[in-house]
Structure 1
Amino acid sequence: MDDVAAASSERQSTSRSWALLGFFGVFCVVAFAVALWPRESHVTGPVATTTPVPPAPATIDGWTPYWVLDRILEQPDSGASRLSNLREVSPFWFSVTGFDAIDSDTFTPDDLAEEYIGQLRNAGVAIVPSLLDRMDAGQMATILSNPVVRSAHVVAIREFAEQLDADGIDIDYEQFAFADDPSTWIATRPNWIDFIAELSVGLHDDGRTLSVSIPAVYDERVTGDRGYWVYDHGAIAEYVDSLRIMAYDYSVVEPGPIAPLDWFEQVIDGVLLAVPQQFHERIVLGIGSYGYNWPTTVIGECPEDAPGRTGVNPGTLDDLISRRGIEPVADVVTGEWTATYELTVDNGVTQCVQTRQLHWIDADGVALRVEMARRAGIEGVALWALGYEDDEVWNALISSSTRNLIP
């Protein structure tokens, strides 16, 4: 079962020396100025010209889940030299379990979490913990629908931020999108806006920032069946300091790409349409550096503990590729890598052979998406997730965020 463990664990980490030929080149475009002499000219002075402005460098944020803390802290470059490139980091192990209850995940290694937060402080990185809605479907919507309970929830968040001495708070309430019935969105939307507005005032009065992490929207509409308009990206933009758009997880249940390029471009276009121009500088585009590993066909009878969909990332892929003899294939349409292989699962009683399919984003894919965001005028990116990346991904992230791009 060692193959199963390696394929299924997002919490394992290995040093990667795997090198694959990248399929995204960075092409330099040289602009030539051509002087055109008119047949007749009534212009007596110089003709005004406009020089295109290169895209601005991107700030870098990131989420850090608890299950990668051991890997991060084992890295020799996990200190100030790497962290100094980050603007803010969101520890990803705090959950909202009631209107006045915020808890650390049971599996969080408290000693490592404390050490990591200490490193962030020493490096001068803003600490903006993510708060995840871990309640059952509809419960957060119910909390926000009652002004008194909603205000009590705001107070609980402010007190949590004070106790942690956090620089800000990141609200990551995904149950609206992925658990609640979309028929409830029309009622939830105004309550959500009121909540964000009230929390914004409170946190700003406390000298703290407010970020939200929300899924994509594809236009400015707040009705219909396209995008997660329940979050009303445009309406909340004036209240938040960062509007983080999760531009990944395109495929989750069924095998497929993580953030195909055509969809990624739709996400960019959609948020720019939805958010008023004066708040575009607050948009932060979430960039995925991971993948999934799905079973597609099964021959035989699998044991109950046979792996289903599992996560992969640059820190774990090389071991899987090496042991299984996998030959990755570049998909230039999606801007990702794919691979298939067979896995035998045997517990001594039952046995099956799974055909498994992988999709993931590598260093070149990260760089390409960062540059797409910058060229669209988005000046901030956030990596999902810090701790997944290897040196190649990290270097690609830094380079693509800062290098000069020809407009």
Structure 2
Amino acid sequence: MKTALTSRVRTAGVLTALFLAAGPAAVGSAPTPVPARSTSAWLPYWGSDAAYADALQHASQLHTVSPFWYEATSASTVNGYPGAGDRRMVDGLHAKGIKVVPTVIETLDAKAMAELLGDPARRTAHTDALVDIAESSTYDGLDLDYERMAETDDEQLRERVRVGYNALTAELCTRLHARNRQCVVTVMPHTLLDGHAYDYAQLGKVTDRLRIMGYNLHNALGKPGPLSSVAWYEEFLGYATGVVPREKLEVALPAYGWDWTVGSTGRAKHVTSREAEALRQDRKADYLFDTASGTPHFSYTDGGKRHEVWYQDANGTAAHLAVMKKYGVRNSGLWALGFENPGVWDVLAAQ
């Protein structure tokens, strides 16, 4: 964050010097161009009012909001979560110049999805159901966030999912584009060990935006550690920028964390970045920053048990945006509205 702020101060100084040098003639010249909006964010259906207010507050930085509203449960069934299609929100976001591209997730596992995607008739029925959702309101497109289908160690099954998903997205994107709507696909990071159910190169050809989830390096069921790291960003961005045009790539940044009970085999507790910082202050825990990963963390004791909390804030976001800049990826996303440390918006504005 310090580096980002220093850059902004230097830039301000240069602009001031240029203005003074130009003298009175500069007055009345062409206005300074408004920076292009470069951030998208998800709007969770739980806590949606707070998330919606957050979107309106930072509308000048947001080009797209993806309400987390829909769930595919079969080839022909896509159900809405509570509040899905809220016209007040859709219209309110549009009034601020923000595109509304709702997210659809899937509940089917790898085997079920491989069978669905491998059957042309069922795949088309699924595409029909998705197009119906896109046309059910004044939406600007759809975001497919199909993750469960990727959770398999069976290489043959994973390849069937990969090939079938290529066919689905090609068909869906063609039909959405014919309706002047965007086609967005969200994927897991592609590394040596993960993300191989997604064909980045093919998805990069047919989609308008390929969103990479830059989080959950350490998850709720694993050992304590950072949600993301500089080295991890280096790995997946190195791959992604080699096969997908940079202008189509977007990296979604975390605005949450996990609270692990050390030594427990149970699931870690989810905390938003705001909740994590409030907890740290309440427990009077030292703020620690892991420079290797670019992630804040702290520990505390409750009921005789030690807890470790790793989360993300403005300092860590700045560290990861620096890696994105290195690879020429300017588009960022945020999971999720209402979760974030407020200072994150200043860092995003300076990217």
Distance 1:338 1:281, change over 3 A: same
Q: Name 1:296's counterpart in structure 2.
A: 262
d(CA) in 2 for partners of 1:155 and 1:110?
19
> 1:232 and 2:199 equivalent?
yes
> 1:72 and 2:51 equivalent?
yes
Opposite residue 262 of structure 1, the aligned amino acid is A
Q: Name 1:326's counterpart in structure 2.
A: 285
Greater RCO, CA 8 A, separation 6+? 1
Q: Name 2:214's counterpart in structure 1.
A: 247
Query: Match of 1:284, SS?
Result: strand
Which sections of structure 2, spanning at least 5 residues, go unmatched?
11-34
Q: CA deviation at 1:194?
A: 1.1
> 1:335 and 2:294 equivalent?
yes
Q: Name 1:120's counterpart in structure 2.
A: 93
Q: CA deviation at 1:135?
A: 2.4
> 1:174 and 2:147 equivalent?
yes
Query: Match of 1:297, SS?
Result: coil
d(CA) in 1 for partners of 2:84 and 2:202?
37
d(CA) in 1 for partners of 2:37 and 2:242?
20
Q: Which has the higher helix share?
A: 2
Query: Match of 1:118, SS?
Result: helix
Q: Name 2:21's counterpart in structure 1.
A: none
Note if contact 2:259-2:269 (Cα within 8 Å) is conserved in structure 1: yes
d(CA) in 2 for partners of 1:120 and 1:58?
14
Opposite residue 388 of structure 1, the aligned amino acid is F
Q: Name 1:134's counterpart in structure 2.
A: 107
Q: Name 1:261's counterpart in structure 2.
A: 230
Opposite residue 104 of structure 1, the aligned amino acid is G
Q: Name 1:206's counterpart in structure 2.
A: 179
Q: CA deviation at 1:392?
A: 1.2
Query: Match of 2:225, SS?
Result: coil
Q: CA deviation at 1:265?
A: 1.3
Q: CA deviation at 1:109?
A: 4.6
Q: CA deviation at 1:258?
A: 0.7
Note if contact 2:4-2:347 (Cα within 8 Å) is conserved in structure 1: no
Note if contact 1:337-1:362 (Cα within 8 Å) is conserved in structure 2: yes
> 1:196 and 2:162 equivalent?
no
Distance 1:182 1:296, change over 3 A: farther
Opposite residue 262 of structure 2, the aligned amino acid is T
Distance 1:109 1:152, change over 3 A: closer
Give the aligned CA root-mean-square deviation in angstroms: 2.5
Please, what TM-score do these two structures have when normalized by structure 1?
0.73
Q: Name 1:63's counterpart in structure 2.
A: 42
Equivalent residue runs for 1:6-405 within 5 Å:
59-73=38-52, 75=53, 78-79=55-56, 82-105=58-81, 108-109=82-83, 113-178=86-151, 181-218=154-191, 226-252=193-219, 253-275=222-244, 279-297=245-263, 308-344=267-303, 353-400=304-351
Query: Match of 1:230, SS?
Result: coil
Query: Match of 1:318, SS?
Result: helix
Q: Name 2:15's counterpart in structure 1.
A: none
- After alignment, is 368-377 or 185-194 more displaced? 368-377
Q: How many residues in Structure 1 have an aligned counterpart in Structure 2?
A: 324
Q: Name 2:13's counterpart in structure 1.
A: none
d(CA) in 2 for partners of 1:152 and 1:292?
38
d(CA) in 1 for partners of 2:170 and 2:125?
14
Please, what TM-score do these two structures have when normalized by structure 2?
0.84
Note if contact 2:189-2:212 (Cα within 8 Å) is conserved in structure 1: yes
Q: CA deviation at 1:313?
A: 2.2
Distance 1:109 1:151, change over 3 A: closer
Opposite residue 145 of structure 2, the aligned amino acid is D
Note if contact 2:230-2:319 (Cα within 8 Å) is conserved in structure 1: no
d(CA) in 1 for partners of 2:51 and 2:350?
21
Note if contact 2:313-2:344 (Cα within 8 Å) is conserved in structure 1: yes
Q: CA deviation at 1:393?
A: 1.6
What does the per-residue CA deviation read over 1:207-231, in whole Å, with 9 as the maximum and x for residues that have no partner? Answer: 111010001113xxxxxx6331221
Note if contact 1:23-1:330 (Cα within 8 Å) is conserved in structure 2: no
Q: Name 1:405's counterpart in structure 2.
A: none
Opposite residue 247 of structure 1, the aligned amino acid is G
d(CA) in 1 for partners of 2:199 and 2:164?
11
Note if contact 1:193-1:236 (Cα within 8 Å) is conserved in structure 2: yes
Opposite residue 325 of structure 1, the aligned amino acid is K
What does the per-residue CA deviation read over 1:81-134, in whole Å, with 9 as the maximum and x for residues that have no partner? Answer: 5213211111112111111111122xx3569x4433332122121111111012
d(CA) in 2 for partners of 1:328 and 1:114?
42
